[in-house]
Chains A and B, each alone.
Chain A
Amino acid sequence: MLVLRTLVLGPAHGHTIAHAIEHGSGEVLQIEHGSLYPALHRLEDRGWIASFWGTSENNRKARYYRLTPAGRKQLITQTARWEEVVRAIGRVLKPVTE
């Protein structure tokens, strides 16, 4: 979902995505960048993202990913479900925080 969200802004390659997630979460989500790739592979498999070879900002050959229409739809439903879960968890947790 995080990957999909990153790609809403436009096509990006693996390196960018990894850094985007890291920065976007305010360095909270420290991931091993390599583990991103199996995830990308799986998403591509499901047809939510598509890939193509392109050239990076500093002229390196890189594989770019973009969101497919199916992926966009998936992002919306997943985001909605996520928010629902968060709200639900929030409601359960409320008494303790007070």
Chain B
Amino acid sequence: MGLPRFLRRAKWDRERSQEIESYVQIETDENLARGMQYSEARAAARRKFGNSTLIREEIYNMNTIVFLETLSRDVRYGARMLRRNPMFTAVALLTLGLGIGANTAVFSVVNSVLLKPLPYPKADELVALRQVAPGAAGLANFADGLLLSPSMYFTYAEQNRTFQCLGVWIKDTASVTGVAEPEQVRTVEVSDGLLETLAVAPAAGRWFSHADQIPRGPETVMLSYSYWQRRFGGDRSAIGRSIRIDSRTKQIVGVMPKGFRVVNTDFDVILPFAFDRNKQILAGFGYHGIGRLRPGVSIARANADIARLIPVWMDSWSNGPGTNPHVYENWRISPAFRPLKEEVIGNIGDVLWVVMGTIGLVMLIACANVTNLLLVRAEARQQELAVRSALGAGTGRIVRELLLETMLIGVMGGAVGTGIAYAGLRVLQAIGPGNLPRVNEISLDARALIFAVVLSLVSALFAGLIPVLKYSAPGIALAMRSAGRTASASRNRHRARQFLLLTQVAMALVLLVSAGLMIRTFQALRNVEPGFSDPKHLQTMRISIPAPLIADPQRVIRLQNEITDKLASIPGVRTAAFTNEMPMEGFDHEWDTIYAENRNYPGDLAPLRLFKHVSPGFFQTAGTRIILGRELTWTDVYGFRPVGIISEKLARELWGSSAAALGKRFRQYPSSPWREVIGVVEDVREHGVHEDAPPIVYWPTMTDHFSGNNAADAIRDVSFVVRSERAGTESFIRQIQQAVWSVNSSLPVASVRTMQEIYDRSMARTSFTLVMLGIAGSMALLLGIVGIYGVISYAVSQRTREIGIRLALGAQQGELKTMFVRQGLALVGIGVTIGLSIAIALTRLMKSLLFGISPLDPLTYAAVALILAAATVIASYLPARRAAAVDPVEALRAE
């Protein structure tokens, strides 16, 4: 039996009936010839032929695949039923569509971000060369571990036995000049071996060669695809041309393909480090390492291999004459490599799984709602079903038909959902939550589509099963009787729906509690004093002065001073200042030791502190409170006065209190000159509001005797800050640019943003989770309300007769209303109780996402329970009012 014939069965049927007709005609002709009357002749011919419909059916059935045939018939029947109930269909479709859409969208994100391999060949061989160093607090934070120094890179690259190749990289910025406006570009600097490790071939030209990594060798650069398109219009002849980067001419040797990123960093150009091997010291732990393992080598073996090389590294290099290379033994450095993917995903995994879980719960609620709708319908159709089964429809047939109907809803809901998911992902990508890695890789791919299809079918089956089980094989007599209007509704009919409602309420409560906890977390974060004030009116921008442009550090600081003055003179500006980086900006931090006067350091080893460099007037501009003492002045800076400012936390740690710290002295190394504490400022949450403020030492932006460099040194890459009511407006930004260029026209102004944006970005993870859980929670609440409303209003409609009797016997309208509202509240009360216990168990899982509150925050739980109760009252009051408005005469006459 072939499918082609199945599809042609209608044509066959036409042919055969024609043929039968022709038989009848011929026979009629013959009968006529025998002298019969026409009608008699035709009747005789038909008689002779037999039952023509039966025969046609026999042939038709020969041609058909019975299963497919009845299936298509049932589908058509189902579609007709759905069309006849547009309200029901719309609600069911929308509910399922939203659920499936949200789930598919979140699944796509989870799939693209967490499940799919990184877009490098054989990505599972790639590892992040992460090291831990418990003895180097501050420098080695938990997230990044201890980064590599160039000397480590040389040692590891040359002597390892477990890697095919490895390399180090950092991200940075550089200015491109020589065209109309100077431009600041995002750069990635790479060592030899880095591109080979990632193994993505260039789209045009070539990678850096070994020769490009020789110090003072050929100056070369590679471009990103987008920068190539933007600057050179994708012209292949760009290869071999030169551009001026940081005032040096560099030849373009290659272009990386579209979408290529280094780990999760987008960039405009790639530059080779060209490390000078002879000038390397042990220190300089600021480089991210990536390695490609040899086939079959485990991470544990690679760890062991590199652990062996750490003593070798300490023996091979030093920090200069008179230093002890084995100080690093105190840091207890050990490799803790991990798959590169983990590095990329970071801590977003927790968030995504929580979101996936909550969205899954929403799906369950949606299913429960659709089940409820189906139950209502099945109940309304009970009589019809009973009649059909009385007429001989088999149970199997009825089951199949009911299920098919829900499947049909499921499939259509899936289609709606896929559309919603597609739109949702587009929105997500447009917003591009700052901390969501691999956003550009997110797509609705085959796997996500399969997920959507499976989800729609499974949820339809799930939603359809209960009504089917309940109503497919009705006790005919019972159904016929109780579906007639002589009896009022029996109690057991509601059990399934009430159970569903309980589940719904319980799950909605869980979701609302988690959303509530996130809101409280957000509030707690907002209440944290970040160490700066009114970030909305704080305009920040990055300006670097490369050494080839201006070599002399004194001239650099004069230029920066001039820019500051120009910025301060813009109308509407209160103050201006600069620093090496603003809090939460997330550049690589500078950590080093300081030694307080009159204090013993065992083994001559002081703990690491965060170093920052600030200009005069910085604290006033940023709104960081000065607790005691004063800010730096330009006289301090130009006169190389040995002064510094420390944070309150550090003051308390070293000298017990801010007051005691003032006037005390410290130095960077035991050999450095002393510096005097001239001020103590409030603690600043440098790494985001959710992390404790580190102890900070503030240095002038121009120093001598700093980090072993006795000559004068200035910070060349700085963030300027301007406090103004006009911050963030376009005209203001243009004026800022003009002001900077009026001082020096080859300085690009980059990363122009308000402090508020930087602050929001540091909260991105929390706000993302909050928004997602908020959506899930409100969907749950909405569906829950619909569910309650449905159950109560159905109960009302079923009990119209009973209400009529009650009213006729003298019940008051108010009492009736209360009765129904109470019924709703009783149901929800049970649901809330169940939900609370589930929430207490589940919210523990989201502990890592919370800040400042316990997962059992009583306020959240109470508020959510109250919200649900209020929603219940509203949802059951509406049908209750309808019940009370029943006219007893009408209700009883309807019998």
Contact = CB atoms under 8 A, between A and B. Distances in A.
- Whether chain B is bound by chain A comes out as yes
Interface of A: 13-15, 18, 32-35, 37-38, 41-42, 45, 56, 58, 60-63
Contacts of A60: 22, 25-26, 29
Contacts of B62: 38, 41-42, 45
A14 B24 CA distance: 10
Contacts of A38: 55, 58-59, 62
Given A41-B59, A41-B62, A45-B62, A34 B52 contact: yes
A55 B654 CA distance: 116
A14 B19 contact: yes
Interface string B14-31: 011011101101110100
26 contacts: A14-B22, A15-B23, A15-B26, A15-B27, A18-B23, A32-B48, A32-B49, A32-B50, A33-B23, A34-B50, A37-B16, A37-B59, A38-B58, A41-B59, A41-B62, A56-B22, A56-B26, A58-B29, A60-B22, A60-B25, A60-B26, A60-B29, A62-B23, A62-B26, A63-B15, A63-B18
Contact of A13 (B22, B49, B59): B22
A35 B23 contact: no
Interface of B: 15-16, 18-20, 22-23, 25-27, 29, 48-52, 54-55, 58-59, 62
Contacts of A33: 23, 27, 48-50
B773 to A, nearest CB: 63
A2 B549 CA distance: 107
Nearest to A56: B26
Contact of B22 (A18, A35, A42, A61): A61
A35 B55 contact: yes
A62 B59 contact: no
Nearest to A38: B58
A62 B59 CA distance: 18
A41 B50 CA distance: 17
Given A13-B23, A15-B27, 20 more contacts: A13-B26, A14-B19, A14-B23, A15-B22, A32-B50, A33-B48, A34-B49, A34-B51, A34-B54, A34-B55, A37-B16, A37-B20, A37-B55, A38-B55, A38-B59, A60-B22, A60-B25, A60-B26, A62-B23, A63-B22
Contact of B16 (A41, A56, A62): A41
B648 to A, nearest CB: 95
Q: Looking at A13, A41, A58, A60, which has the most chain B CB atoms within 10 Å of its CB?
A: A41
Nearest to B21: A61
A63 B16 CA distance: 9
A43 to B, nearest CB: 12
Contact of A58 (B26, B48, B59): B26
A75 B793 CA distance: 73
A32 B58 CA distance: 15
Nearest to B19: A63
B769 to A, nearest CB: 65
A37 B26 contact: no
A13 to B, nearest CB: 7
A20 to B, nearest CB: 13
Contacts of B22: 13-15, 56, 60-63
Contacts of B27: 15, 33
Per DSSP, chain B at the interface is helix
Contacts of A35: 50, 55
Per DSSP, chain A at the interface is helix
Q: Looking at B19, B20, B23, B25, which has the most chain A CB atoms within 10 Å of its CB?
A: B23
A34 B46 CA distance: 9
A34 B22 CA distance: 12
B293 to A, nearest CB: 64
Contacts of B52: 34
The 7 closest A-B pairs by CB, nearest first: A34-B50, A32-B50, A34-B49, A15-B26, A63-B19, A62-B22, A34-B55
Nearest to A17: B23
Given A45-B62, A58-B29, A37 B19 contact: yes
Contacts of A62: 19, 22-23, 26
Nearest to B12: A41
B58 to A, nearest CB: 5
A78 B23 CA distance: 28
Contact of B20 (A34, A56, A58): A34
Contacts of B20: 34, 37
Contacts of A41: 16, 59, 62
Nearest to A32: B50
Nearest to B45: A33
Contacts of B26: 13, 15, 56, 58, 60, 62
A35 B23 CA distance: 12
Contacts of B25: 60
B616 to A, nearest CB: 100
Contacts of A45: 62
Contacts of B16: 37, 41
A19 to B, nearest CB: 9
A34 B45 CA distance: 10
A37 B13 CA distance: 12
A38 B27 CA distance: 18
Nearest to B15: A63
A91 to B, nearest CB: 37
A79 B168 CA distance: 89
A35 B26 CA distance: 17
Nearest to A31: B50
Contacts of B15: 63
A35 B48 CA distance: 10
Contacts of B58: 38
Nearest to A59: B29
Contacts of B59: 37-38, 41
B64 to A, nearest CB: 13
B23 to A, nearest CB: 5
Nearest to B57: A38
A46 to B, nearest CB: 12
A9 B25 CA distance: 24
Contacts of B55: 34-35, 37-38
A42 B50 CA distance: 19
A35 B51 CA distance: 9
Contacts of A63: 15, 18-19, 22
A42 B51 CA distance: 18
Nearest to B49: A34
Q: Looking at A35, A38, A45, A56, which has the most chain B CB atoms within 10 Å of its CB?
A: A38
Contacts of A14: 19, 22-23
Contacts of A13: 22-23, 26
A38 B55 CA distance: 7
A60 B20 CA distance: 12
Contacts of A56: 22, 26
Contacts of B23: 13-15, 18, 33, 37, 62
A61 B48 CA distance: 20
A28 B420 CA distance: 72
A45 to B, nearest CB: 7
Contacts of A58: 26, 29
B862 to A, nearest CB: 75
A38 B19 CA distance: 12
Contacts of B50: 32-35
A18 B54 CA distance: 18
A52 B45 CA distance: 23
Contacts of A34: 20, 49-52, 54-55
A55 to B, nearest CB: 10
Q: Looking at A13, A34, A41, A58, which has the most chain B CB atoms within 10 Å of its CB?
A: A34
Nearest to A34: B50
B135 to A, nearest CB: 87
Nearest to A62: B22
Contacts of B51: 34
B802 to A, nearest CB: 59
A41 B55 CA distance: 11
A81 to B, nearest CB: 24
A13 B54 CA distance: 21
Contacts of B29: 58, 60
